[in-house]
């Protein structure tokens, strides 16, 4: 009982602190199940459930079922051509962007961010766009790495 009370106290503290912290390493959710799992991990609820019910409480099966029933749109991920273009172009961007590159970068940004951002010469706008696109490339790299690890574990 003491262990459970400690977990409840941790959950309460974590929930209060949650608004002040942002985890930049969070993986992209494939569906509702991943989002719920992330929420329960960040708030400490998952830890509390594992303490009370044990590690095999059915959370993974529920997560997978929810992901299957309520998936996020597949367009949230870059296709191979977009990934190649971004991974070649983004490292070259230092202080300026050519008009041809800016059009293509903006088109990719609009597609995935669901933005109606118009072409701009505003440098701070481009800093934000480039940051988002770099994050998408990093997520693609992570998805590929995780996929390879899963393949190796199956063998």
pLDDT at residue 16 above 50?
no
Query: For residue 132, what are the CA distances in angstroms to 7, 35, 118, 119?
Result: 36, 20, 16, 16
Find, among 127, 105, 136, 132, the residue nearest to 27 by Cα.
136
71 beta partners: 31
Q: What are the pLDDT digits (tens) for 57-101?
A: 888 899 998 888 877 665 567 888 999 999 999 999 988 888 889
Q: E strands within the chain?
A: none
Which two tokens mark 14?
């974590």
Distance CA 76, CA 31 (A): 11
CA distance 82 to 140: 11
Residues 6+ apart with CB under 8 A from 13: 44
Given a contact cutoff of 8 angstroms between Cβ atoms, the answer to whether 32 and 66 are in contact is yes
Q: Which of 3-17, 41-55, 69-83, 141-155 has the highest mean pLDDT?
A: 41-55
pLDDT digits (tens, 9 = 90+) for 109-134: 888 876 778 888 888 889 889 999 99
With 0.85 as the threshold, say if the pTM is over it. no
Phi, psi of 128 (to 5 degrees): -65, -45
Residue among 131, 139, 153 nearest 26 (CA): 139
Question: Which pLDDT tens digit goes with each residue over 25-42?
Answer: 446 677 788 888 888 888
Provide the residue ranges of all domains of the chain, joining segments of one domain with +. Answer: 2-69, 74-154
């Amino acid at each position: 009982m003491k262990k459970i009370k400690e977990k409840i106290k941790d959950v309460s503290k974590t929930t209060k602190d949650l608004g002040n912290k942002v985890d930049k390493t969070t993986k992209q959710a494939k569906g509702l199940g991943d989002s719920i799992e992330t929420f329960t991990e960040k708030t400490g609820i998952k830890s509390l459930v594992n303490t009370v019910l044990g590690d095999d409480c059915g959370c993974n099966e529920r997560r997978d079922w929810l992901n299957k029933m309520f998936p996020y749109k597949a367009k949230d991920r870059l296709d191979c051509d977009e990934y190649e273009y971004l991974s070649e172009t983004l490292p070259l961007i230092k202080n300026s962007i050519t008009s041809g590159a800016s059009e293509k970068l903006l088109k990719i940004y609009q597609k995935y961010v669901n933005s109606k951002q118009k072409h701009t010469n505003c440098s701070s706008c481009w800093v934000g766009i480039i940051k988002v696109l770099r994050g998408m490339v990093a997520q693609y790299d992570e998805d590929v790495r995780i996929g390879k690890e899963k393949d190796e574990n199956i063998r």
